[in-house]
Structure 1
Amino acid sequence: MEVVGRDEEATYKGVQTALPADYDMEIICKRVATKGHLLDAFPGLGLKAYLVREREAGSPVDQYAPSYLWTTPKGMNSFLWGPGFQGIVNDFGRPVVQHWAGLSYEEGPAAASAPRAATRRRTPLGDAVPPGEAVADAVARHAREARRDGVVASALAVDPRHWELLSFTLWADPEAPADEGERFRVLHLSAPERTALGAGRQW
């Protein structure tokens, strides 16, 4: 699991569960079809994308990887310590939780479209440039990338423990660009407080 804080009042969170090679991914699809709507009005949730990637589609692993953007830490905490997260624990075991500091959020040209795919790209934040400069450059680049055709929304975050950037993007086209890192299929999107996520740099 990943938990990404966008700032002191907004938080992003995502879950990743690697599955056995012979796991029936239809179980995940049915789970999302029957339970995905339960967070469609969850307080404090900006958006949640229910994601999977599958070996039969070219992924190196079968994986269930829902990702969240929270508008408040209170919303995230009420999910983590409530029945919603416990349902994940019951079905898949308790995942490791990582925290990320949010840097930027952008709506793309396809913001009105339902996302069909998602990508996640991790990039080391090298030590040759001062952290502030490197992050400022990354945020500016992220703003430009979010304006590409087909982008629904995109978030940029940093792990200051390992000095690693994470770019997470939702796409309207089911065939997300191949050079954007790990690719996922979006099964459902819950976005009760998406408009409260803000836009641009978070400091």
Structure 2
Amino acid sequence: MNVMQYKVLLPMDYDMEIIRQRVKTNGFKTDGFQDLLLKSYLMIDSETRKEYSPLYLWNNEAGMNKFIFEGFYDNILTSFGWQTITSAIPLQVELGDSIKESAYVLEIEHDILPTTKMVLPEFSLEKSTETGRVLIYNPAKWKYVEFYFFIEKPTQRKTSDTVYEILHLSM
């Protein structure tokens, strides 16, 4: 299983209706994509940040490789230019039956600090009203990230937490 995400930071004067329309017109095209467990089309449209950040959860690398190298990712390159794709390894994936009803994702990022004894990262929030949650890690960057899916907009615990609006979920 693999996770990938690219974060397209957009100019503050960018009309985010373009992103909404893009997802409305094309979002369904990844429904049922080979090896795709979940794709969440994420967006931030605030006074301080404009971002389009699709999040993918792949059952295996074959579908991810097909997406990146067989023309599908070219749509991102054509529309937004060269973007870095962050990839990570899932530690825990809990997708509830109502995840398709989710409207928001809370992202919490952590550093994995140098140590002499590795400790398995865990979710930092108690199970509550989320419809799903995913915990991933990236040993190349020594970070781990928690994603929580919600129907109602969650509250940020820290300013470094990120709340995304979900425009579409493909499964």
**Structure 2 residue 106 is the aligned partner of structure 1 residue 119:** yes
Structure 2 counterpart of 1:35, which letter? N
2:10 pairs with one of 19, 29, 33: 19
Alpha-carbon distance, 1:76 to partner:
0.5
Is residue 113–residue 172 contact of structure 1 (8 Å, CA) maintained in 2? no
**What residue is the counterpart of 1:86 in the other structure?**
74
* 1:5 aligned residue: none
Out of 20, 37, 48, the position equivalent to 1:46 is 37
Q: Supply the distance in 2 between the matched residues of 1:111 and 1:24 (Cα, whole angstroms).
A: 31
1:100 maps to 88
The residue number in structure 1 matching 2:136 is 157
Contact 2:5 2:86 in 1 (8 A): no
SS at 2:165's partner residue? strand
Using the TM superposition, give the Cα deviation of residue 94 of structure 1 relative to its aligned residue in structure 2, in angstroms: 1.5
Give the conservation status (yes or no) of the 8 Å contact 1:106–1:146.
Answer: no
**Closer, same or farther: CA 113–73 of 1 in aligned 2, 3 Å:** closer
The answer on whether the counterparts of 1:146 and 1:153 sit within 8 Å (CA) in structure 2 is: no
Gaps of 5+ in 2: none
Instruction: Provide runs of 4+ in structure 1 moved above 6 Å.
Output: none
Taking structure 1 as the reference length, the TM-score comes to 0.77
Q: Decide whether the 8 Å contact of 2:94 with 2:132 is kept in 1.
A: yes
Q: Show the counterpart of 2:163.
A: 183
Aligned CA distance change for structure 1 residues 146 and 71 (closer, same or farther; 3 Å): farther
Shift of 1:146: 6.4
Distance in 2 of aligned mates of 1:82 and 1:44: 14
Query: Could you tell me whether the CA contact under 8 Å between 2:41 and 2:169 is conserved in 1?
Result: yes
Length, aligned pairs only: 169
Aligned residue identity for 1:20: P
Return the offset for 1:41.
1.5
- 1:79 counterpart SS class: helix
Query: Could you say what the CA RMSD is over the residues aligned between the two structures, in angstroms?
Result: 1.8
SS in 2 for 1:20: coil
Q: What is the Cα deviation at residue 187 of structure 1?
A: 0.5
Q: CA deviation at 1:21?
A: 1.0
Percentage identity across paired residues of the two chains = 26
**Amino acid corresponding to residue 31 of structure 1 in structure 2:** R
In the alignment, is the contact (CA less than 8 A) between 2:6 and 2:86 conserved in 1? no
Out of 100, 105, 117, the residue aligned to residue 130 of structure 1 is 117
Which residue of 46, 53, 68 maps to 2:56?
Answer: 68
Q: Is the 8 A contact 2:19 2:52 kept in 1?
A: yes
Alpha-carbon distance change, 112 to 123 in structure 1, aligned in 2, over 3 angstroms: closer
Structure with higher helix content: 1
Question: Structure 1: 5+ residue runs without aligned partners?
Answer: 1-9, 192-203
1:182 is aligned with what amino acid? T
